Amino acid sequence: MKTRDDIRNIAIIAHVDHGKTTLVNELMKQSDTLDSHTEIADRALDSNDIEKERGITILSKNTAVRYGDKQINILDTPGHADFGGEVERIMRMVDGVLLVVDAFEGTMPQTRFVLKKALEQHLTPIVVINKVDRPGARPSEVVDEVLDLFIELGADEDQLDFPVVYASAMNGTSSYDPDISTQEHTMKPIFDTIIKHIPSPLDNSDEPLQFQVALLDYNDFVGRVGIGRIFRGTIKVGDHVTVMKLDGTTKDFRVTKLFGFFGLKRLEINEAHAGDLIAVSGMEDINVGETVTASDTKEALPLLRIDEPTLQMTFRTNNSPFAGQDGKFVTSRQLEERLKTELETDVSLRVDNTDEPGAWVVSGRGELHLSILIETLRREGFELQVSRPEVIYRDIDGKKSEPFEEVQIDTPDEYTGSVIDSLSQRKGEMQNMESTDNGQTRLTFLAPSRGLIGYSTEFMSMTRGYGILNHTFKKYAPVIKNWNPGRKKGTLVSMNAGKATTYAMMGVESRGTLLIDPGTDVYEGMIIGENSRENDITVNITKGKNLTNVRAAGSDDMARIKTPVHLSLEESLEFLNTDEYCEVTPDHVRLRKQILSTNEREKAAKRARHN
């Protein structure tokens, strides 16, 4: 069988922060791709601002590098399980994977998640043990951990015989030996291993066309762009082809533009052949998983399976008293159109209308997935309100079921008891507990997803920031009954509108934890703090001091309050209870009660008690 020896298609997979994107950077730098004048930024493929700030990959990116007479197409995938929808599709586009594992941390939950996807597609693996220069690195032990994971996930004999390269992507060094003294400033061992071990794609360019879309992009000039792999045949600009739609219908179109990938650039090309990864424009409504075929030979490839969402939130137009003060886009029509645009490229997302005008149920793969969408919207100038995240229940074999996640925790030994206790209260079942020589304990739990909503903030304060928490979707199981894991403490709620004063805050701070600064504009029903007890308290946060003489007026300068706690967007979403909203604008993240009027809220609470 004829193959194309001039190209290799690989995906780089790893747990969050094990160095995938940095490694891709170094492969680009040390390949024959960039000319000597091209400056390349750190983690160049993490192209949007949120990716750069958080140091995570959200969207899969593809690039291509030259190595001698070979072209290596590289797909950089997200490491976080919330973006697993991206990882699954990528696996169909490639013939092998580079599994990157941190030489200190070893295999982690998402290592398992991404490797499982690769092994299911029978891809050829290469293992890169990265960060070998890190203090406490244990490369040889980590290789054993990786082998155990391969066996546990049911790898076949060929996959178990994986080659290993040791590297420090940050320093641009690698070698075939775990001994750090053998590291040299070159990526040659990695390139050579890719060329030697990753299979070449089949060369069946003379057969009828089959091209499958795995990623979507959108461009204002050319519209929707389908990115994928040619599995068979040849495609040229101007060709008349047929899209085999997901619903079984077909649609004809003409190929207006083709793009190939080279380094950081997307270059226009006139034709492409079997094995190539390309982008095609000219198809208005093409979707992920659809097959583009020759018009006279309509044979669809198997559909791509995408994991269903497990978490949902209600997005609403902002109707608070401060609505429209910050944002450019505040109407329900603008928000609805933007959510529909997001569906163009994010196939793991669902947006459903509700009976209420200006409200939509948005479903995603996890808190991070949805919070990044909210952060993106606010940066673009949108105002909105969102409800507490809720898990999506399913009916399985006649039983109401909820999602459960595998939780892996690494914590200093002294916090182990607190962590076990806190997860037990959230209905987590401990599966495993291992102690390491360096005073750390690794705990593994199976916990319901709704018990993990809001847990990361509690976990970080409990372990003084030294703990590492990872969780990934495991399965649906029967619902745990008679249990509500919501926030246990109540809130401090403003009873009127105005500016918060230091004087009023001094009188309130003994009741709980303040979440706003003096001088903050507030409205009735806005949450200004967390109560130290379980009930909500309505407080006057705008009260000024009665000025009885000149001297008293100046003495306010001496007033001191404890520094308020400022919640990030994620922390605000985790803080929410079922009767609260998070108001998000380009400049502010506020917490509020759904019913703003104090009187109306009290009446609603009475009705609820009587029912």
Closest Cα to residue 189, out of 158, 164, 170, 160?
A: 164
Q: How many CA atoms lie within 13 A of 84 on its CB side?
A: 26
Query: CA-CA distances (angstroms) from residue 472 to 62, 369, 391, 440?
Result: 25, 13, 14, 21
- Return the HEC string of 98-109: EEEEECCCCCCH
Burial class (CB in 10 A: 0-12, 13-18, 19+), 148: exposed
Three-state SS at 259: strand
29 is in an annotated binding site: no
Length of the chain in terms of residues written: 611
Closest Cα to residue 163, out of 189, 133, 131, 202?
A: 189
Query: CA-CA distances (angstroms) from residue 174 to 67, 164, 198, 336?
Result: 16, 11, 19, 49
* Residue 516 structure tokens: 């706003």
Closest Cα to residue 244, out of 286, 278, 205?
A: 286
Burial 173-185 (b: 16+ CB within 10 A, else e): bbbeebebeebee
107 is in an annotated binding site: no
Closest Cα to residue 18, out of 82, 87, 110?
A: 110
* Residue 40 structure tokens: 């390349």
Closest Cα to residue 540, out of 524, 519, 518?
A: 524
Q: What distance in Å separates the CA atoms of residue 512 and residue 367, rounded to the nearest whole number?
A: 27
Q: Which are the contacts of 393, defined by CB distance < 8 A and separation ≥ 6?
A: 400, 401, 402, 479
Q: Is residue 470 a contact partner of residue 110, using CB atoms and an 8 Å limit?
A: yes
Q: Is residue 592 a contact partner of residue 515, using CB atoms and an 8 Å limit?
A: no
Q: What distance in Å separates the CA atoms of residue 246 and residue 215, rounded to the nearest whole number?
A: 15
Q: Which are the contacts of 521, defined by CB distance < 8 A and separation ≥ 6?
A: 322, 498, 499, 500
Q: From the centroid of its chain, how far is CA 491?
A: 30
182 is in an annotated binding site: no
Q: What distance in Å separates the CA atoms of residue 472 and residue 114, rounded to the nearest whole number?
A: 11
Q: What distance in Å separates the CA atoms of residue 344 and residue 335, rounded to the nearest whole number?
A: 15
18 is in an annotated binding site: yes
531 is in an annotated binding site: no
State which amino acid sits at residue 379: R
Closest Cα to residue 222, out of 272, 284, 265?
A: 284
Q: Is residue 398 a contact partner of residue 419, using CB atoms and an 8 Å limit?
A: no
DSSP string of 282-300? --TT--TT-EEEETTB--P
318 is in an annotated binding site: no
- Return the HEC string of 373-406: HHHHHHHCCECEEEECCEECCEEECCEEEEEEEE
Binding residue positions for GTP: 17-22, 130-133
Binding residue positions: 17-22, 130-133
